[in-house]
């Protein structure tokens, strides 16, 4: 029988930090989609196709989050890069809208 004390940790601290950052980026994207769904549903004439698209994207993001493995450095890096870019683009668009 082996124990964690004799075999060591299953992942490094750097892997854990990157994994948590990737999950945070995905969750930020999901929150943004939820906000957009709420706003669309509260319009006088909601665009149901847009709501369906946003729900699909939210579901896809949850699937990515659920499938992410802390020890898969390539996938964690890819998710962090992709979802952070989505957050930055959304934040930039919101800043432009607020400035207008």
Closest to 19 (Cα-Cα) out of 77, 58, 63, 61: 77
> Distance between CA 84 and CA 48 in Å, rounded?
27
Residue 87 is predicted with a pLDDT of 97
Residue 86 is predicted with a pLDDT of 97
Mean pLDDT by 10 residues, the chain (100 residues): 69 97 98 97 97 98 98 98 97 89
> Distance between CA 16 and CA 100 in Å, rounded?
40
Residue 8 is predicted with a pLDDT of 82
Closest to 60 (Cα-Cα) out of 35, 47, 79, 41: 79
Residue 7 is predicted with a pLDDT of 82
Residue 41 is predicted with a pLDDT of 97
List all residues 6 or more positions away from 27 whose beta carbon is below 8 Å from its beta carbon. Answer: 65
């Amino acid at each position: 029988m082996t124990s964690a004390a004799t075999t060591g940790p299953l992942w490094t601290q750097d892997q854990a930090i990157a994994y948590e950052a990737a999950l945070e980026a995905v969750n930020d994207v999901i929150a943004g989609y939820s906000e957009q769904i709420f706003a669309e549903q509260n319009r006088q004439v909601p665009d149901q196709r847009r709501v369906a698209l946003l729900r699909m994207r939210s579901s896809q993001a949850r699937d990515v989050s659920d499938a992410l493995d802390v020890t898969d450095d390539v996938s964690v890096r890819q998710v962090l890069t992709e979802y952070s870019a989505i957050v930055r683009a959304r934040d930039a668009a919101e800043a432009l809208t607020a400035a207008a």
